[in-house]
């Protein structure tokens, strides 16, 4: 059986004997064992990251950029293989896996521009014959802790920029689908990255705690569920680290009565059920405004019934299984609770069986109508193929729903009214907002991040936010001896 090790200093290696099963969610079979890092493993990773950091930070940004450029080419050449690794351990369709890797690749493309991105500011004559300029310097050793749902894309939101900025990086991927991170690290070595600049340590909470408390690590980037994000934020800050911790979501898509209904329905279907709802930008709430609700629910229902739920090996598959047996049961419990709390179950995805894949973790698309804001299925993140329709009498009520929810990751409005759309983008208390697009995921050269309980910290990921997160600002003020005036100055210069 395949073993998934750490990748430290350019080699696959584990000193520990602790293992955890890695499953194929389509079959429920164990397909590998991930070796959980021990303290000794972690020590090696830290030493290797530290040892390579100074030389790497002294490598010119242009040379770093050339290595990133080789890396970009290698990811493109290996796209199919990488996507298969993602699909097999995660369960998402092959096309969706390819799409997610491409979104990660775009961050590598962005990071190739690092010589330009690191340019500082310069002012001549801030005082008489005095110049001042700013530079951005790397933090040192950075760490990233990532979730199961995007085993390639989410790590790629972090390490290409951190490394481009001159840091070394330790990645702790999800223990549920750990193989892709190893392939990504090996390709980076092949691209010319010196050993130790990018290390991968496998494990669960134990290794996370070692990362959070280690004094050699300067920053922690985290993406995962909100309770863990909050813990990471507080704990890492306690140990003096710079931290960005992205959490869960409950994204609302508001459908106005003047919306193009078919487009809105397509948006809800793709963003609600794509990747079996296991996306932090999934649409889990459709807010039907005014008299559009009955028609909207009926159309979503028809389309949901037509979706093909199948393993990733079936090219016709629209959505695959969820990640694990426990997660499937948790989602089924939410559906049961939704019924108990009075929501109208229009389409029930429980007890979904696919011939030949009876032990897979499949659920059918599920649709609730008449959901209210008091219900648990509305308040909590389900992270599965469950769409809740909530009815609002007008736009103001819809906006209140969006703004009063504890999560603030993404939202979208479907309308043909420019004024409403402008009001929505200005006044929604959400980090990423779409107009007539279902998943407003910013491109690599913008930044990704939510508000409220969806992000703890001051920086979003990638784009210039990423460059700023992974660098320290230094401002230098200089004058040259011949211009120095005689005698000390006892008041602050105000030139
Ligand atoms: P998770 O929080 O269970 O795990 C994320 C990472 O934290 C993993 O590497 C895991 O090993 C580690 N971890 C888990 N429990 C821990 C603990 N108690 N202490 C320390 N470390 C711990 O999340 P998940 O189930 O892997 O991923 C799904 C969640 O991630 C969803 O809530 C989803 O919304 C969120 N997510 C958010 C974004 C975003 O951009 N905001 C993106 C993707 C996923």
pLDDT tens string, the chain, 495 residues long: the values are: 999 999 999 999 999 999 999 999 999 999 999 999 999 999 999 999 999 999 999 999 999 999 999 999 999 999 999 999 999 999 999 999 999 999 999 999 999 999 999 999 999 999 989 999 999 999 999 999 999 999 999 999 999 999 999 999 999 999 999 999 999 999 999 999 999 999 999 999 999 999 999 999 999 999 999 999 999 999 999 999 999 999 999 999 999 999 999 999 999 999 999 999 999 999 999 999 999 999 999 999 999 999 999 999 999 999 999 999 999 999 999 999 999 999 999 999 999 999 999 999 999 999 999 999 999 999 999 999 999 999 999 999 999 999 999 999 999 999 999 999 999 999 999 999 999 999 899 999 999 999 999 999 999 999 999 999 999 999 999 998 776 666 787 888 776
The CA angle 340-341-342, to the nearest 5 degrees, is 90
CA of residue 280 to ligand 1 center, whole Å: 10
Is 162 a pocket residue for ligand 1 (Cβ < 6 Å)? no
Nearest-CA residue for ligand 1 atom 26 is: 147
The rounded distance, in Å, linking the Cα atoms of 462 and 137 is 17
What is the reported pLDDT for 487? 77
CB atoms within 10 A of CB 102: 15
Looking at residue 493, its pLDDT comes to 74
Ligand 1 site, residue 220, Cβ cutoff 6 A: no
Ligand 1 pocket mutation pick from 25, 107, 144, 147 by most atoms within 8 angstroms of CB: 147
Residues β-bridged to residue 7: 12, 200
Instruction: Tell me what pLDDT residue 491 has.
Output: 84
Ligand 1, closest atom to CA 246?
Answer: 41
Specify if 493 maps to a domain.
no
Determine whether 142 is an active site residue.
no
277/225 same-domain check: no
At 210, which CATH number? 3.40.605.10
* Ligand 1 pocket check for 278: Cβ under 6 Å: no
Q: What is the pLDDT of residue 484?
A: 63
* Atom number of ligand 1 nearest to Cα 175: 11
Residue 381, ligand 1, Cβ within 6 A: yes
Contact 411, 436 (CB under 8 A): no
Atom of ligand 1 nearest to the CA of 455: 41
267 & 227 share domain: no
Inter-CA distances, 269 with 308, 331, 364, 370, Å: 12, 18, 13, 18
**DSSP output for 53-83:** HHHHHHS-HHHHHHHHHHHHHHHHHTHHHHH
Instruction: Please state the domain count of the chain.
Output: 2
Same domain, 214 and 197: yes
One domain for residues 468 and 415: no
State pTM to two decimals: 0.97
Q: Is the CB of 407 under 6 A from ligand 1?
A: no
Tokens of 63: 């040379």
Residue 485 lies in a domain: no
Does residue 134 lie in a domain region? yes
Same domain, residue pair 103 and 222: yes
Same structural domain, 208 and 297: no
Task: Find the domain containing 92 and state its range.
Answer: 2-247+454-476
Q: Answer whether residue 490 is part of any domain.
A: no
Same domain, 159 and 23: yes
CA 233 to centroid of chain Cα atoms: 16
Residue nearest to atom 43 of ligand 1 (CA): 280
Q: Ligand 1 in contact with 224 (CB < 6 A)?
A: yes
Contact 112, 62 (CB under 8 A): no
421 and 472 fall within a common domain = no
H helices of 217-292, where? 226-238, 261-273
Query: What pLDDT, on a 0 to 100 scale, did the predictor assign at position 486?
Result: 66
> What was the pLDDT predicted at 219?
98
Q: How far is the CA of 412 from the centre of ligand 1 (A)?
A: 24
Q: For residue 444, is it within any domain? A: no
Phi, psi of 234 (to 5 degrees): -70, -45
pLDDT value at residue 495? 65
236 and 317 in one domain? Answer: no
Q: Decide: residue 296, CB within 10 A, 0-12 exposed, 13-18 middle, 19+ buried.
A: buried
Residues 206 and 333 in one domain: no
Q: Which atom of ligand 1 is nearest to the CA of 147?
A: 26
Looking at residue 270, which CATH number applies to its domain?
Answer: 3.40.309.10
User: Is residue 448 a part of any domain in this protein?
Assistant: no
- Count CB-CB contacts under 10 A for residue 147: 25
On whether the CB atoms of residues 247 and 278 are closer than 8 A, the answer is no
Q: H-helix or E-strand containing 423?
A: helix 418-427
On whether both 305 and 393 belong to a single domain, the answer is yes
Assess if residue 442 is contained within a domain: no
358/374 same-domain check: yes
Q: What's the CA-to-centroid distance between 159 and ligand 1, angstroms?
A: 17
Task: Please choose from 228, 323, 440 the residue to mutate so as to test ligand 1's pocket, defined by most ligand atoms within 8 A of CB.
Answer: 228
Residue 494 in any domain: the answer is no
Ligand 1 in reach of 225 Cβ (< 6 A)? yes
Tell whether ligand 1 has an atom less than 6 A from the beta carbon of residue 439: no
């Amino acid at each position: 059986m395949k073993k998934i090790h750490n990748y430290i200093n350019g080699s696959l290696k584990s000193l520990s004997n602790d293992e955890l099963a890695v499953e194929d969610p389509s079959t429920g079979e164990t397909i590998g064992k991930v070796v959980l890092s021990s303290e000794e493993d972690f020590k090696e990773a830290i030493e290797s990251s530290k040892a390579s950091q100074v030389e790497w930070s002294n490598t010119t940004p242009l040379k770093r950029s050339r290595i990133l450029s080789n890396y970009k080419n290698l990811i493109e050449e290996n796209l199919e293989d990488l996507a298969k690794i993602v699909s097999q351990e995660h369960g998402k369709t092959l096309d969706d896996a390819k799409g997610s890797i491409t979104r990660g690749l775009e961050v590598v493309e962005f990071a190739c521009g690092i010589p330009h991105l690191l340019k500082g500011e310069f002012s001549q004559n801030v005082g008489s014959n005095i110049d001042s300029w700013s530079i951005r310097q790397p933090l040192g050793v950075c760490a990233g802790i990532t979730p199961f749902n995007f085993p390639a894309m989410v790590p790629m939101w972090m390490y290409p920029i951190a490394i481009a900025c001159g840091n070394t990086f330790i990645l702790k991927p999800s223990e549920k689908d750990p193989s892709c991170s190893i392939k990504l690290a090996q390709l980076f070595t092949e691209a010319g990255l010196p050993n130790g600049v990018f290390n991968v340590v496998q494990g669960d909470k134990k290794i996370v705690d070692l990362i959070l408390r280690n004094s050699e690590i300067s920053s922690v980037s985290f993406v995962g569920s909100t309770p863990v994000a909050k813990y990471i934020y507080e704990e890492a800050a306690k140990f003096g680290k710079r931290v960005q911790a992205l959490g869960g979501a409950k994204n609302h898509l508001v459908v106005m009565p003047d919306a193009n209904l078919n487009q809105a329905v397509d948006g809800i279907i793709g963003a609600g059920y794509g990747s079996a709802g296991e996306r932090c930008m999934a649409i889990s709430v459709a807010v039907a405004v005014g008299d559009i609700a009955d028609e909207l629910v009926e159309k979503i229902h028809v389309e949901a019934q037509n979706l093909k739920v199948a393993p990733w090996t079936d090219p016709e598959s629209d959505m695959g299984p969820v990640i694990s047996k426990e997660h499937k049961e948790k989602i089924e419990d939410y559906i049961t609770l939704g019924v108990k709390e009075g929501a109208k179950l229009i389409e029930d995805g429980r007890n979904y069986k696919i011939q030949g894949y009876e032990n897979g973790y499949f659920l059918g698309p599920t649709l609730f109508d008449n959901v209210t804001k008091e219900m648990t299925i509305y308040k909590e993140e389900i992270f599965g193929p469950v769409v809740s329709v909530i009815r609002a009498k007008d736009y103001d009520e819809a906006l209140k729903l969006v703004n009063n929810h504890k999560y603030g990751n993404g939202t979208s409005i479907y309308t043909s009214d420019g004024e409403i759309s402008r009001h929505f983008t200005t006044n929604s208390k959400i980090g990423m907002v779409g107009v007539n697009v279902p998943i407003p995921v910013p491109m690599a050269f913008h930044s990704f991040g939510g508000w409220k309980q969806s992000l703890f910290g001051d920086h979003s990921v990638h784009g210039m936010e990423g460059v700023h997160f992974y660098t320290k600002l230094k401002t230098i003020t200089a004058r040259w001896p011949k211009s120095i005036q005689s005698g000390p100055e006892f008041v602050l210069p105000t030139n």
